[in-house]
Structure 1
Amino acid sequence: MDIAEVARRSGVAASTLRYYERRGLIAPLEREGAGRRRYPPGVMNQLALIALGQAAGLSLDEIRTMVLPNGEASVDRGLLAAKAEAIDAQVLRLRAVSRGLRHAAACPAPSHAQCPTFQRLLKAAAAGALDLQREGGAAPPAEQARRARKARQARPKPPAA
């Protein structure tokens, strides 16, 4: 498939496909004719893996480590488990915030200053327990990298041919 066909089928802009190439996430076949980029049929699966990784909050560098040179996926289970834990923690914090906001919106107290539930929510926010922006819902990049290295080292090595 040429670059225009991949862009049409995937909904990914041609400029983004070229960017993914530069980042080592996808690779074209040898150029033919007028030098147009052509991609193997498996590129659609690679683009789906990229989209899934981005939806999960993985960086392009993290996603690149899960794509083998031949385009096959090599999913880093340790990194995925760490990301799932971070997402679960973020969901818990968001649920707590949502419950607090819903309570504050319907609270019968004459003032939010007199509402114990709202005051607990304010204290949690002041203590940074609800700071989703700062945390990004994940461990710091260095910690994520450490976990990913540890998971790769724990993975069994394929037998030598």
Structure 2
Amino acid sequence: MLLDIGEVAQRSGLAASALRFYERKGLISAVGRNGLRRAYEPETLSRLALIACARSAGFTLTEIAALLHAKPSDETLRERVAQKADELDGRIAQLTRMRDSLRHAASCAHDPLVDCPAFRDLVRGDPASTTPPTT
């Protein structure tokens, strides 16, 4: 069963104009029309979820288009994807340090908080501070 552009917009949380833009960029494609409205395969929702995930991970639309149209033989793209995965590992480590620091800060009594040695160690990613005492 095909979904019209309004249904895809509603289910994906994207404006119809964004869907038309993605279509012009070659990220998605309509398979026909339902009257005057574009119609899409239900799998388009999965593709849009992948696009949203990639965008939130810092991929450009050009990079996403390349990924969506990649062939197993594309070694250059494979190298770029591996590089992006490494970049994400760095961001994940940074965000994990920040999360752990904030969790410590939520119960820390040190004044001022940012001078707390455990807080500072967590921000730096000091492995000795994986389970810091509340100070």
Q: Judging changes above 3 Å, is the alpha-carbon distance between structure 1 residues 74 and 13 closer, same or farther for their aligned structure 2 residues?
A: farther
User: Relative to structure 1, is the Cα distance of residues 40 and 100 closer, same or farther in structure 2, using a 3 angstrom cutoff?
Assistant: closer
Query: By how many angstroms is 1:28 displaced?
Result: 0.7
Structure 1: 4+ residue segments shifted above 2 A: 30-33, 73-80, 87-103
Match in the other structure for 1:42:
43
Cα distance between partner residues in 2 of 1:87 and 1:25: 22
Partner in structure 2 of residue 79 of structure 1: 80
> 1:3 aligns to what?
5
Gaps of 5+ in 1: 109-161
Q: Which residue of 1 aligns with 2:127?
A: none
Task: State, as a whole percentage, how many aligned pairs show the same letter.
Answer: 43
Q: Measured at CA, do residues 96 and 15 of structure 1 come closer, stay the same or move farther in structure 2, by a change above 3 Å? A: same
Once the two structures are overlaid, the 10-residue window that deviates more, 88-97 or 7-16, is: 88-97
Q: Distance in 2 between matches of 1:3 and 1:99?
A: 42
Provide Cα deviations, 1:78-133, integer angstroms capped at 9, x if missing partner: 33321121122344456677899989xx8x8xxxxxxxxxxxxxxxxxxxxxxxxx
Aligned residue in 2 for 1:133 = none
1:37 and 1:53 map into 2 onto residues whose CA distance is: 24
Which has more strand, going by share of residues? 2
Q: Any unmatched runs of 5+ in structure 2?
A: 111-135
- Which residue identity lines up with residue 29 of structure 2 in the other structure? A
- After superposition, the Cα gap between the structure-2 partners of 1:53 and 1:27, relative to the gap in structure 1 and judged at 3 Å, is same
Q: Output the TM-score relative to the length of structure 1.
A: 0.51
**Residues 111-126 of structure 1: matches in 2 within 5 Å?**
none
CA offset at residue 11 of structure 1? 1.6
> 1: CA distance between counterparts of 2:41 and 2:94?
43
Q: Which residue of 2 aligns with 1:14?
A: 16
Relative distance call for 1:92 and 1:46 in structure 2 (3 A) is closer
SS of corresponding position for 1:38: strand
Aligned alpha-carbon RMSD (Å): 3.6
Pair 37,78 (structure 1): closer, same or farther in 2 beyond 3 Å:
same
Distance 1:57 1:5, change over 3 A: same
